[in-house]
Amino acid sequence: MKRHASALALPLALSFALSGLGPACSKDGAANAAAGRPNASPAASPGPPTPGPGKAFERPLPVSEGRVLVFSDQLSQTMSDAQVRFVGKHYVGSQKLIRSLAARIRSHNPGFINLQYRLATGLSTVPNLTGEDTWDVDTVEPTAPGFPGDPRRTVEAHYLHDPPGSTQRVSHVDAYFMADVRNPAWHEAHIDEILRRMPLNAFDGIFLDTAHLRIDGFTPADWHVRFCDPDVTKLPSCWTAPAKAYFTRLVERLHAATPPAYAIGNYGPLITGWDTNEELAPLDGGMVELFMWVGGTAIGERDWHLAVDRILRLIGNERVMIAQPVGYADTPVARRWIAANFLLLQGRRSYAAFYPAFVEPNAAPVWLPEYEVDVGPPAPPRAPVGASTRGPSPGGTSSSTPRTPRGPAGSPPRRWGSDGPRSTSSAAGSWAPTDRRRQAGSSRNRHWPASSCSAPATAPFSK
């Protein structure tokens, strides 16, 4: 484990937990504990994204060890030249960028990653990039001009219907229809369209939104009862297996493409007790949306163990992790909690996409002081937490001494307008976005105890 994980992130995360930040356990974690379903300890770390034989990714994913690298969830399509230059010099990638904007950014950073956006298991009715610098809807109904020649054509059998056998599609409040993940014909049609769009805006891969299973927000509200069963123990047979088969096929075809492309999913917060998220295992990594902060507060200990176990199992040290906490409090405690957890779990391809409550995700580029924490050089592997002195002492303190960041992690961010940097507060004057971060080349061994979600804790993180 790196110096920054053992000496900065862990003591901070422990101290905030001991101080009572967040609830003891959210409803999913509590349900998991009540049902006696603890998470297993993470197995061997999954390997890195690997293209097909004789192929290489056109733009390799930048290595994040020894530094904090930033991935922007969304960027304005009308940025000024100053903003474009800043993005190219400071961000490693984004998604849904038109070809001309991606080219402007790559004039400053040729390795900038641009991901195509697509719902993982849905067909959207909102505009998306369907052609070069062109926005249109993802689906075309049979009554539309050009059908069935339009590559976006809708095939009714690709949709999920409820009741089964009816013509009523399962629809979501976010303006999309649920696809029938059990239908291999839909698998191939969806992947065909993803590959067709890949070169149009010089995309490097696909961002699969809502890759994890969700059952809320749909009409009919109880669609999952007839699709699967009220008994969630049957979930692996009715959802996980066909979804995993689809993601496996998608990764195979993207890695075999010319040039090969990445498959990155939106994993959600990874704290749903009844879902193991095993269907996500084939992907090259994912965004952990609502990272360690859900429902206006830090997640509790049991949910924390669920999230950590799944991040280590699905992403490990080699695959992509985009940590995206959204709407967290603008306080030193909250901001250090987010940064500490990110540094603790940081692997070779981990990227920060932090959005505290005062930041608009699709506004002008924003630079946070957390992105400039001096993580120091890598340290040798440490013993497992349960057998080491790095845990909290009986007095509630850690035996490791945290490194002091170069500046206050709670300082206001610097917001970039069309004319360059503008501090949101005079207190941030010394936090100009510079690139003084150290780069380290060695890998890290992660060690973490098994989840304690099967039994109540006497105190937060008491081990």
Cβ-in-10-Å burial (0-12, 13-18, 19+) of 185 comes to exposed
* Alpha carbon distance 384, 1 (integer Å): 10
On whether residue 385 sits in a domain, the answer given is: yes
For residue 220, the 8-state DSSP code is S
* Alpha carbon distance 101, 73 (integer Å): 15
**HEC profile of 26-52:** CHHHHHHHHCCCCCCCCCCCCCCCCCC
Which residues touch 116 (CB under 8 Å, ≥6 apart)? 95, 96, 129, 194, 197, 198, 201, 203, 205, 206, 207
On whether residue 180 sits in a domain, the answer given is: no
**pLDDT reported for residue 378:** 66
**pLDDT reported for residue 8:** 43
Which residues touch 136 (CB under 8 Å, ≥6 apart)? 127, 128, 130, 152
Query: Are 197 and 116 spatial neighbours (Cβ–Cβ below 8 Å)?
Result: yes
In what helix (H) or strand (E) does residue 71 lie, and over which residues does it extend? Answer: strand 69-71
Query: Are 218 and 171 spatial neighbours (Cβ–Cβ below 8 Å)?
Result: yes
Structural domain containing residue 352: 1-49+63-110+284-463
Tokens of 289: 């949306």
On whether residue 89 sits in a domain, the answer given is: yes
**pLDDT reported for residue 3:** 35
On whether residue 228 sits in a domain, the answer given is: no
On whether residue 156 sits in a domain, the answer given is: no
Which residues touch 292 (CB under 8 Å, ≥6 apart)? 269, 298, 299, 304, 307, 325, 337, 338, 341
**pLDDT reported for residue 146:** 66
In angstroms, the Cα distances linking 212 to 67, 179, 271 are: 29, 13, 11
* Alpha carbon distance 214, 166 (integer Å): 22
On whether residue 210 sits in a domain, the answer given is: no
Query: Are 424 and 369 spatial neighbours (Cβ–Cβ below 8 Å)?
Result: no
On whether residue 254 sits in a domain, the answer given is: no
* Alpha carbon distance 436, 31 (integer Å): 45
On whether residue 106 sits in a domain, the answer given is: yes
Residue-averaged pLDDT of the chain: 76
pLDDT in tens, 179-195: 999 999 999 999 999 99
**pLDDT reported for residue 127:** 87
Number of domains in the chain: 1
**pLDDT reported for residue 103:** 97
Question: Which letter, b or e, does each residue of 423-446 get, where b requires 16 or more Cβ atoms within 10 Å of its Cβ?
Answer: beeeebeebebeeebeebeeebeb
* Alpha carbon distance 308, 303 (integer Å): 9
Question: For the whole model, what pTM was predicted?
Answer: 0.77
Query: Are 330 and 53 spatial neighbours (Cβ–Cβ below 8 Å)?
Result: no
pLDDT in tens, 84-134: 999 999 999 999 999 999 999 999 999 999 999 999 998 888 889 988 999
**pLDDT reported for residue 136:** 86
Residues of the chain with pLDDT under 70: 1-44, 142-149, 229-233, 361-363, 378-379, 381-463
